[in-house]
Structure formats: C-alpha cells, structure tokens
C-alpha cells in the first residue's frame, strides 16, 4: 500500500509540474498575443485616420 501511495504521489506531482509548465508557456503566448493585438489596433487606427484624410480634403475642395 505504501508503494502505491508513493507512486501515486509521484504521478500527481509530475502532472502538476507539467501543468505548471504549460501555464507558463501559455502565459508567454498570451502576453505575445496581447502585444500583437495592441499593434494591430494601432495599425487599424492609423488606417482609419488615413481613410478620413481623402474624404475630408475632398469636402474642402468642394466647398472652395
């Protein structure tokens, strides 16, 4: 019985260690994902700003 408990404890510890490693890897991936999403939001905002420029300059030309 003691051998079983020792073996089972080692199995559970190994699984726990594996999950801890996965969590660490996923945390790094999540950080990278968030950084990339922030970059993309900036790029979309820049494109939106650029898209407004011709429309506004066209309106100014029509008013003149």
pLDDT of 64 strictly over 90: no
pLDDT-based confidence at 58, cuts 50/70/90?
Answer: low
pLDDT in tens, 1-46: 999 999 999 999 999 999 999 999 999 999 999 999 999 999 999 9
Number of domains within the chain: 1
CB-side neighbour CA atoms (13 Å) of 41:
6
Q: Measure the CA–CA gap between 34 and 27, rounded to whole angstroms.
A: 10
CA angle 52, 56, 58 (to 5 degrees): 120
pTM of the model: 0.63
CB-side neighbour CA atoms (13 Å) of 60:
6
Which residue range forms the structural domain that includes residue 19? 1-64
């Amino acid at each position: 019985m003691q051998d079983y408990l020792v073996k089972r404890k080692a199995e559970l510890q190994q699984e726990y260690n594996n999950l801890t490693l996965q969590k660490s890897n996923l945390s790094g991936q999540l950080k990278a994902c968030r950084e990339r999403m922030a970059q993309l939001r900036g790029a979309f905002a820049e494109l939106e700003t650029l898209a407004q420029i011709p429309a506004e300059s066209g309106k100014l030309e029509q008013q003149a």
